[in-house]
Structure 1
Amino acid sequence: MLDASSGRVGAQRYAIISPRAQIEIKQMMPVWVPGRPRRKKDTEDITRPEAALREQDTSPA
């Protein structure tokens, strides 16, 4: 899940969650936590990175 690069805020280093992992977490949360409704924000949080990844995959190198 933490397969992307690491980041830094000041002297503190942090693992960065890859966009694909973030999408999977948002998609699976209603399965993992039954009864938790999918919010409009969750749908938007999935749509934007998916679109960016598609654009990145189709852009010339």
Structure 2
Amino acid sequence: MLDASVGRIGALQCRIISPRAQIEIKQMMPVWVPGRPRRRKDAEDITRLEVALGEQDARPA
């Protein structure tokens, strides 16, 4: 899950959760935590992440 690079803001460093892991977490949370409702925000985030990944994959190297 934390397979992406280390991020930094000023002196603060932290591991970055990959976009694909973020998508999986948002899709699976209602399965992993029964009774947790699916949220509109999560669906919007998933769409936004998928679009960004598609645009990223289409860019020339």
Identify the TM-score tier after normalising by the shorter chain. Answer: 0.7 to 0.9
* Pairing 1:14–2:14 present: yes
TM-score by length of 2: 0.88
Partner of residue 55, structure 1: 55
Partner of residue 40, structure 2: 40
**Higher alpha-carbon deviation: 51-60 or 40-49:** 51-60
Q: Which amino acid aligns with 2:18?
A: S
TM-score by length of 1: 0.88
**Higher alpha-carbon deviation: 38-47 or 4-13:** 4-13
Partner of residue 25, structure 1: 25
**Higher alpha-carbon deviation: 28-37 or 51-60:** 51-60
What is the percentage of aligned positions where both structures have the same residue?
79
- How far did residue 58 of structure 1 move? 2.5
Consecutive unaligned residues of structure 1, counting only runs of 5 or more, are none
Consecutive unaligned residues of structure 2, counting only runs of 5 or more, are none
- How far did residue 10 of structure 1 move? 2.4
Aligned Cα root-mean-square deviation (Å): 1.1
Regions of 4+ moved over 4 Å: none
